[in-house]
Structure 1
Amino acid sequence: MSTPAGATARSAAPVADATRTGSRALFAVCAATLLVLMNYTAPVAVLPQTARSLGAGLTTQTWLINAITLGLAATLLVAGSLGDDFGRRRIFRAGLALLAASTLGAAVAPNAGTFVAARVLQGVASAAILAAGLGLLGHAFHTNHGRSHATARWASMLGAGIALGPLTAAVLTALGSWRWSHLMLAAVAAVLAALTGRLLAESRAERPARIDVPGVLTLGAGLSLLLVAITAGRIGWLRPAVLIPLVLGTLLLAAFVVIEARGRAPMLDLALFRRPDFRIATIGAFFTGLAAIGPSTVLPVLVQRLVGISALGGAGLAFLWAGASFVVSNQMRHHGTRFAPTRQLALGFALTAAGYLAMLGYADAHSWARTIPGLLISGAGSGLLNAALARLAVTSVPLDRVAMGSGANNTARYVGSAFGVAASITVASSLLPAGQTAGFSAHGADVVLLLGAGVAVLGGAATLIRRRVTAPAPAAV
């Protein structure tokens, strides 16, 4: 029996509509993610110029880089939970508006303290964009193929942003001032905030919206204190300024776990950890931040200081690493469903370790060119990690918890990144030759690479351990 033409047209209309909705969501979320990562990495390439302009010493310079991670890690899970309950588009647009305002604040900052405060707010804004954005994609794409395609595109924006952020900042600094890149990024964020109202459809969980106030307070304060301790530990771990926030932060995080386990509407559903994929996604994200993002964020600064290249040259090296990450992540949209995410993570960690080992000795040889093969190899590893983690973040949780899954995944990633950045700077600035009292050393730079490779190997091993749990997992929606 033939189908009437009118019925065919009516059945095709929702499909076309869904395709348009998904394409708009993918464009808006990818553009905002690109902006977030450009903003995240822009100061790295021009750290000496920024520090000199703001009068920042070596310890404060760590905060110029790490302050945004503090805001990110402390609020990613909160933003994801709020997005699921109150509307992912609403949280996403609020994040873009706050990013525009805080980036403008960084551009006009008169001193280091104001700049650091603006960077913390940038982290809060970025958390809203990343958690709600990946949640929007999880809601817009329902099939395995569609989600693999969308999350691989999203992951490629991480690499593209890391590539373009330092390069843009270096070029604009060479033309005028380090402040110009912040002004440009603030303007783009404002435009995106205005456009996304039309590009995105609202989505939220079908349950009463509640704010887990005790969870928000204990998690935010606990992670903030922990990251303060990690960053302050650069000049000694046994000082009260490190031990007090470290102990208080640990106690608050323990309290958060107890609150979430007993709460009626928890910000983080601890039952999700019964799912092997969710556990692996969280562990893999933490080790990605610790082993891949942390050392790679500090590397351009070390090459500038130890080899003597310009800010633009350092940005060019970062572009090679992030460019390789972008290409590999983008290609995984064609192949993502053919590979198990755990194997993809293990291979990504292996390439990260191999890339770091290939760069050993560049500072002693006083050769930036010796870093190129290793940057390309470790960048490819980062691309595999990003694509696998983005896919797991939305497939390892029920549909009504996709922003929570994204928030948990990215929280683990940026807590690991904060550890990695602080540890890399501490090691590189502590192992100084006799007679040198400040700065970085070639020996310290090699130890950073060796530690990064070792942690990457541990991360790869951890993601391959899929312990079966007999307790029932939460039902998918």
Structure 2
Amino acid sequence: MGAFAPAARGVRPFLPGQTPHLFTLARVAQGAASAALLASSLGLIVHAFPTARGRRHATGVWGAFVSGGIAVGPLLAGALPSWRLAHGVLGVAALIVAVLSVRGLAESLSSRGGRPDLAGAVTFGMALVALVAALTLGRDGWLRALVLLLRAAAVLLTAVFVRVERRSRTPLIDLALLRRPRFLASSAGGLFTGFAVIGLFSFLPTLLQQALGLSPTATAWLFFLWSGLSFVVALLARHLNDRISHRLQLVLGFVLHAAGVLAMLGAVDAGSWPRLLPGLVVAGVGSGLLNAALPLLAVDSVPAARAAMGSGAQQSLRYIGSCAGVALTIALTASARDLARGTDVAMAVSAGLALVAATGVAGLRDKRRVSTR
């Protein structure tokens, strides 16, 4: 979350004479590795838990620990004396997990066979790069020539990707899945979770530090209420999967996010951080339901052999939504006459987007159950 970056704590991120290029390249590599983990981990879960009940509980734990990482990460980074040490700790932890994975996880290979869809991967990756770059640079002006060019390139590359996928024997994303209501619900859920939830809560801590004068550490503890509740609810919500469909959990999650965010309106203008607490509690419960339902829907919306495909599609849309959501939040706050009004506008728009998502997901009813054979 941007609020907890080293620069926000007054720490100079680079030593004299250093440039951020190496750091940027390392972050690109980290992003690529994270994408591989997010897609493959759910595929491994389907392989390790072949029964429907086992998958429901395992994906619930997976979603809970996504929330747990968001909760613990800022506090851990704030407790360490430097950002370099924080990255070092994360690197060592990743190596330990890698060793344990090699020793403890069974290999799972797709039964489809065939060559990897390299053409699809390249065109889809280039389309995403162009789109994310347009969303990022668009914060300084959506009608600039470079932004318009990047947006046009994203549209063109997406069209090329669709054509490639239609002709591929082993497509990166089987476009026939778009006719399945569950897959559409999974994709829409990931997109709007990024757009409405992550987009706002990634930038809201920075806004509160500027408007209310909170320290980064105090902000981290304040938002621990939201992310910590999200962890607990996601961990407990797996027990609801036997009684409530994950589509309904998504709907409830978006509705609770909207209610929580609307409850926080006016808190910045009043200069009162305690007024945020009820809204953070309600939004945290909603976030927990979303994080519990999304991974299960990602693997349950496709045949079992394509679990990584379902996960990859959902996570890609989630990060596209996050980039768009952060850009939208910054644009709304920057265009307002003061920071308090801009924050309220951004929160109201986030709530509106969540309600749109809830309505859309509620309307995507299953015509038939997806086969998992």
Class of the TM-score when normalised by the shorter of the 2 chains:
over 0.9
**1:127: Cα distance to partner?**
0.6
Q: Which residue of 2 aligns with 1:188?
A: 93
Equivalent residue for 1:315, pick from 210, 217, 220: 220
The answer to whether the 8 A contact 1:139-1:402 is kept is no
C-alpha distance in 2, partners of 1:191/1:306? 40
Q: Which residue of 1 aligns with 2:353?
A: 455
Q: TM-score, normalised by structure 1?
A: 0.75
**1:224: Cα distance to partner?**
0.5
The answer to whether the 8 A contact 1:357-1:450 is kept is yes
Q: Which residue of 1 aligns with 2:5?
A: 46
The answer to whether the 8 A contact 2:269-2:340 is kept is yes
Per the alignment, in what secondary structure is the counterpart of residue 464 of structure 1?
helix
Paired AA for residue 286 in structure 2: G
Q: Which residue of 2 aligns with 1:21?
A: none
* 1:410 and 2:315 matched: yes
Pair member with larger Rg: 1
Equivalent residue for 2:123, pick from 218, 221, 238: 218
Q: Which residue of 2 aligns with 1:297?
A: 202
1:190-238 superposed Cα distances (whole Å, 9 cap, x missing partner): 1111221111000011232412122111100001010000011111100
Q: Which residue of 1 aligns with 2:34?
A: 126
**1:389: Cα distance to partner?**
1.0
Q: Which residue of 2 aligns with 1:389?
A: 294
Question: CA separation of 1:260/1:304 partners in 2, compared to 1, >3 Å: closer, same or farther?
Answer: same
C-alpha distance in 1, partners of 2:223/2:115? 42
Equivalent residue for 1:111, pick from 1, 8, 19: 19
**1:406: Cα distance to partner?**
0.9
Equivalent residue for 2:231, pick from 312, 318, 326: 326
The answer to whether the 8 A contact 1:152-1:329 is kept is yes
* 1:146 and 2:146 matched: no
Question: CA separation of 1:211/1:424 partners in 2, compared to 1, >3 Å: closer, same or farther?
Answer: same
Paired AA for residue 192 in structure 1: V
Runs of 5+ in structure 1 lacking a partner? 1-40, 56-106, 434-440
Q: Which residue of 1 aligns with 2:341?
A: 443
Aligned residue pairs, count: 373
1:413-445 superposed Cα distances (whole Å, 9 cap, x missing partner): 111111111211222223244xxxxxxx11111
Q: How does 1:23-62 map to 2 (within 5 A)?
A: 41=1, 44-49=3-8, 53-54=12-13
Q: How does 1:162-201 map to 2 (within 5 A)?
A: 162-172=70-80, 176-201=81-106
The answer to whether the 8 A contact 1:49-1:178 is kept is no
C-alpha distance in 1, partners of 2:372/2:57? 21
Q: How does 1:312-391 map to 2 (within 5 A)?
A: 312-391=217-296
The answer to whether the 8 A contact 2:3-2:216 is kept is no
The answer to whether the 8 A contact 2:196-2:351 is kept is yes
Q: Which residue of 1 aligns with 2:165?
A: 260
Runs of 5+ in structure 2 lacking a partner? none
Q: How does 1:213-292 map to 2 (within 5 A)?
A: 213-292=118-197
Q: How does 1:92-103 map to 2 (within 5 A)?
A: none
Q: How many percent of aligned residue pairs carry the same amino acid?
A: 45
Question: CA separation of 1:178/1:356 partners in 2, compared to 1, >3 Å: closer, same or farther?
Answer: same
C-alpha distance in 2, partners of 1:116/1:353? 34
Per the alignment, in what secondary structure is the counterpart of residue 425 of structure 1?
helix
Paired AA for residue 63 in structure 2: A
C-alpha distance in 2, partners of 1:389/1:141? 17
C-alpha distance in 2, partners of 1:50/1:126? 26
Per the alignment, in what secondary structure is the counterpart of residue 328 of structure 1?
helix
Q: TM-score, normalised by structure 2?
A: 0.95
Per the alignment, in what secondary structure is the counterpart of residue 171 of structure 2?
coil
Per the alignment, in what secondary structure is the counterpart of residue 241 of structure 2?
helix
**1:466: Cα distance to partner?**
2.1
**1:355: Cα distance to partner?**
0.7
Per the alignment, in what secondary structure is the counterpart of residue 85 of structure 2?
helix
Per the alignment, in what secondary structure is the counterpart of residue 202 of structure 1?
coil
C-alpha distance in 1, partners of 2:17/2:330? 24
**1:184: Cα distance to partner?**
0.8
Per the alignment, in what secondary structure is the counterpart of residue 113 of structure 2?
coil
CA RMSD, 1 decimal: 2.1
C-alpha distance in 2, partners of 1:461/1:272? 21
C-alpha distance in 2, partners of 1:108/1:206? 53
Per the alignment, in what secondary structure is the counterpart of residue 363 of structure 1?
helix
Paired AA for residue 83 in structure 2: W
Equivalent residue for 1:431, pick from 336, 339, 344: 336
C-alpha distance in 1, partners of 2:191/2:164? 22
Question: CA separation of 1:365/1:193 partners in 2, compared to 1, >3 Å: closer, same or farther?
Answer: same
